[in-house]
Amino acid sequence: MSAPRPIRILLAILGMDQHEAGAFAVARLLRDAGMEVIYLGRFGTPEIVAAAAQEEGVDVIGLSCHSWEYLYYLEELFELLKSRELDVPVVVGGSVLSQSDESEIQAKGVAATFGPGSDSAEIVQRIRNLVEARGAA
C-alpha cells in the first residue's frame, strides 16, 4: 500500500492586511504536521486565491486575518470558487476572529474557524477531518 498523498493547503491573506505573524505560525505548524503548504503572501484578492486554488489542486483554502477585510471578501471568494466548479473547503483563522464572527462566517459557508488561542493540535486535526470527510464522500 502506498503512502497517502499529503494534504495540500493554500494559505492566503486578503487585501491590505499585512500582518503575517499568524500565517507564518500556521504554515509552519501544518508543514510540521506533514501537510504541503502553498503560502500566497500578502495582498491577495479573491481572484488570486480562487485561481491559485485551481492551479495548485489544493484540498483546503486557509485565510489568515488580522483585519476585518476578509468579512467583505468571503462572498466574492465563494462565488468565484463556484464559477470555477471548485468544491474546496475554506477555513479562516486569525487574531481578530470573535465568537460572533465565527458563527456568522460559518453560516456563510466557512468550514472551520480558528480564533486567537486555538490549540495547534486541534487546528491540524480539524483540517485533517475536513479533508478525510470529503475523501470519504
Partner 1 sequence: MADRTTQSGIPLQPFYTAADRSSGGDDEASREPQSDPGEYPYTRGRLASPRRRDSWISQELSGEGTARRSNEQFRQLIERGARGLDVIGDAPTMSAMDPDHPLARHAVGNTGVSICRLQDFEDLYADLPLDELTFSHSLPPGAFAVAAFHRVAKRRGFDPKALRGSTILLPAYCEDCSYQIHMPYDLRMRLALDSIEFAATEMPRFHAFLEDTYYISDGGLNAIEEMALGFVEIREIVRTLIDRGLDVDAFAPRIAILVNCRMDLFEEVAKIRATRRIFARMMREEFGAKDPRSWSCAITAHTSGLSMTMAQPVNNVARGAVQGLALALAGVQAVEISCFDEAYRTPSHDAHMVSLRTQQIVQLEAGADRVADPLGGSYFVESLTDELEQRILEMVGSIESMGPLKEVSEKGWFRRLFQEAMTRRADAIQDGSETQIGVNAFVIPREEDRLLRDQSESKIEPYWGRIDEIRHFKDGRDAGAVAEQFARMREVAAEGETNLIEPIADAFEAGLTQGEIAGALRLGVGEAYDPLGQMEPPA
**Stretch of 2-10, 84-92, 115-123, 126-134 lying at the interface with partner 1 (CB under 8 A):** 115-123
Which residues share a beta bridge with 112?
A: 91
* String of DSSP letters for 61-83: EEEEESSTHHHHHHHHHHHHHHH
Sheet holding 8-12, edge to edge: 36-39, 8-12, 60-65, 90-94, 112-114
In whole angstroms, give the CA distance from residue 54 to residue 88. 9
**Stretch of 81-89, 92-100, 106-114, 128-136 lying at the interface with partner 1 (CB under 8 A):** 92-100
Q: Of these, 34, 57, 116, 135, which contacts partner 1 (CB under 8 A)?
A: 116
Cβ at position 16, least distance to partner 1 in Å: 4
Residue 121 cell numbers, joined = 493540535
> Under 8 Å CB-to-CB from 19, ≥6 apart: which residues?
13, 66, 67, 95
Residue 43 contacts partner 1 per CB under 8 A: yes
Residue 4 contacts partner 1 per CB under 8 A: no
Cβ at position 99, least distance to partner 1 in Å: 6
Q: Site residues (CB under 8 A) for partner 1?
A: 15-22, 24-25, 28, 42-43, 45, 67-69, 71-73, 95-96, 98-100, 115-117, 120
